[in-house]
Amino acid sequence: MDASSGEDWEFDKLVHQPTRLQLFAYLYRHGETPFSDLVEDLEITEGNLSSHLGRMEDADAVRVEKEFVDRKPRTTYELTDTGRDLFEDHVGTLESLLESLDE
């Protein structure tokens, strides 16, 4: 949308929510990541993280892989192509908005 037209900018609520935006950005940069690393690096509680990742999984934005490593369960998350596209679209919208502020 064109900011000069007076129309509102619309952001995808799945991506724009602050905690999920952190998750999208982190997974976009780091790729496949264990749950424990997300908890530690993003300083998000396990319950909060699980809730947000569940929403992302429901939207086909993240892929979940569960496996056993040395007899211990390990869950990893990775953005799907849909998730990468959603994040890139969101970044593009933000860049367009910023550019329009200079006009």
Over its length of 103 residues, how does the chain's per-residue pLDDT go in tens digits? 444 443 457 889 999 999 999 999 999 999 999 999 999 999 999 999 999 999 999 999 999 999 998 999 999 999 999 999 999 999 998 888 888 887 6
DSSP symbol at 11: -
The dihedral through the CA atoms of 18, 95, 101, 9 has a sign that is negative
Q: Distance between CA atoms of 32 and 29, rounded to whole angstroms?
A: 9
Segment (H or E) for 79? strand 72-79
- What local confidence, expressed as pLDDT, does residue 8 receive? 59
Which residues partner with 65 through β-bridges? Answer: 76
Phi then psi for residue 71, to 5 deg, are 65, 15
Structure tokens at 7: 């129309």
pTM for the structure as a whole: 0.86
Domain borders along the chain are: 12-98
Distances (CA, A) of 11 to 25, 33, 71: 15, 26, 42
| Cβ–Cβ < 8 Å for 86, 15 | yes
CATH number for the domain whose boundaries are 12-98: 1.10.10.10
